[in-house]
Amino acid sequence: MDKRPIGIFDSGVGGMTVLAEIKKRFPNEDLIYLGDTKNFPYGDKSRETIIKLATKCAGFLISQDVKLIVIACGTATSQALEELKKIYKVPIVGIITPTIINIKRNTNPSKETRVGVIATEGTIRSNKWEEELLQEIENVKVFNKACPLLAPMAEQGWTTNNVAKEAIKEYMKPFIDKKLDKIILGCTHYPLFKELIQKELGNDVEIINTGEKIADYLEEYLVNEDIENSKNHDGECSYYLTDTECNFIQVASRLLQDKEIRNNIQKMNIE
Ligand code: DGL
């Protein structure tokens, strides 16, 4: 049993799709969310810059005495997870491993599994998803596509309008004739476009929201490590942003259907 909070970070509002799944699954746990909105987007930055920024985010969460850090950002997971693990002792979980474990459990190695991966430029450049899928899953074929406009659009709250529809249509084009079994939303902003993606690819394609897979993973992890908060209380969420001149509040409030978010946000300088 460990009553300390779980720390979660992303460059912006995308990681809130992960927080939403964790909050649903672990109502007892206190959560601290950091959105590095001042440095958004991470997706087009160099690996060195991502490592520097992710180190600061993790350092801030550790200063808040978290028991575990969830990197709710595909870009930071793909490029900084290994480095952060070298620097900090606190357990750190990214979005890739929990997702791959889940896919491995749910695929039949005697049949080819065709997996699409959509993510930021930085994540696709790192090739991490493809590497880990090929390493862990037998008989898998991977199709990658960077979708650099989607995270900035999600930050604007443009996830269902005509611009979003056109962007998804364009980004999904290369997958149409690929007979995909699954598509991984390799950026945590992308679940905000889930309906449009499903519509474009059809209902036979499983859309993988990494937040759900992290929640599955944590169910086992917290128990195995004996760090779950079994105190009977309503878990509290605190939100920190490195800049508040953004649409975070509107998008996050809609996502979590929680108008109180506004009252729980603090501006924080992590430089
Ligand atoms: N939500 C992020 C990710 O999963 C970052 C998007 C960005 O900052 O470009 O990659």
- pLDDT higher at 242 or 234: 242
Catalytic, out of 73, 147, 237, 246: 73
- Reply yes or no on whether 246 is catalytic: no
SS3 219: helix
What are the helix and strand counts (H, E) for the chain? Answer: 11, 10
Distance 190 CA to ligand 1 centre (A): 9
Lowest-pLDDT choice from 4-18, 161-175, 234-248: 234-248
73 is catalytic: yes
| CB of residue 150 inside a 6 A radius of ligand 1 | no
Could you give the C-alpha distances from 101 to 47, 64, 104, 107, 137, in angstroms and in order?
25, 29, 5, 10, 9
Model confidence over 170-218: pLDDT tens digits? 999 999 999 999 999 999 999 999 999 999 999 999 999 999 999 999 9
CATH topology of domain 6-94+212-267: Rossmann fold (3.40.50)
What's the alpha-carbon Rg for the chain, to the nearest Å? 18
pLDDT in tens, 144-175: 999 999 999 999 999 999 999 999 999 999 99
Handedness of CA 104, 107, 108, 114 (dihedral sign): negative
Q: Does ligand 1 have an atom closer than 6 angstroms to the CB of 120? A: yes
Q: Is 42 in the pocket of ligand 1 (CB under 6 A)?
A: yes
Mean pLDDT for the chain overall: 96
Pick from 93, 120, 241 the residue to mutate for probing ligand 1's pocket: most ligand atoms within 8 Å of its CB: 120
Name the helix (H) or strand (E) containing 103. helix 96-105
Report H helices in 137-193: 150-156, 162-172
Band of residue 271 on the pLDDT scale cut at 50, 70, 90: confident
Q: Could you tell me the distance, in angstroms and rounded to a whole number, from the CA of residue 45 to the centre of ligand 1?
A: 10
Angle between helix 96-105 and helix 74-87 axes, rounded to 10 deg: 110
* pLDDT > 80? residue 231: no
Place of tokens 């953004």: 246
* Choices 3.40.50.1860, 3.40.50.2300, 3.10.20.30, 1.10.10.10: CATH for 96-209: 3.40.50.1860
User: What's the one-letter identity of residue 126?
Assistant: S
74-128, pLDDT tens digit by residue?
999 999 999 999 999 999 999 999 999 999 999 999 999 999 999 999 999 999 9
For ligand 1, pick from 187, 241, 243 the residue to mutate: most ligand atoms within 8 Å of CB: 187
Q: Kindly report, as residue ranges, where domains of CATH 3.40.50.1860 are found in the chain.
A: 6-94+212-267, 96-209
Q: Residue 51's pLDDT is what?
A: 98
- Per-residue pLDDT, 71: 98
Per the listing, tokens 């007892």 go with 28
Task: Assess whether the C-beta atom of 78 lies below 6 angstroms from ligand 1.
Answer: no
